[in-house]
Structure 1
Amino acid sequence: MELAFLAGMSVPYLSDLESGHSSPSLVTVVDLPRGLEALPSLMLSDLLIDSIRESPRGKRIRD
């Protein structure tokens, strides 16, 4: 409850994020670590992104 307050979001929304029922916006990805007095980059530092993905038309594109 305190994290939701510090990050400026509702408790139900934070609960939905934690349970995977909702996907965070970029603003939320920045606000959550700030609520913990941490840098947003720390939240993303271990994130692995596949460098090849498919476009909406089904063509493979490289990042």
Structure 2
Amino acid sequence: MYHYKEHELQEWAERIQALASQSEEVCVIFNNNSGGHAAGNAKQLTQMLGLSYEGLAPRQLDLFDGL
């Protein structure tokens, strides 16, 4: 089980932004094992990067509320 701390995600956000400036597409996959932290960490990183998505299934996103 692992839950990334904010400063750890910030380090990744900086790396991802650097890669994005050199790439057409950057994909990030979270695998935080069985602790259930992957979705919450992914949402937090998405917010840090200022990303938003349209057209996603609202019911599916509701699964991660409160993470």
Q: Same fold (TM over 0.5)?
A: no
> Which entry has the higher C-alpha Rg, 1 or 2?
1
TM-score by length of 2: 0.27
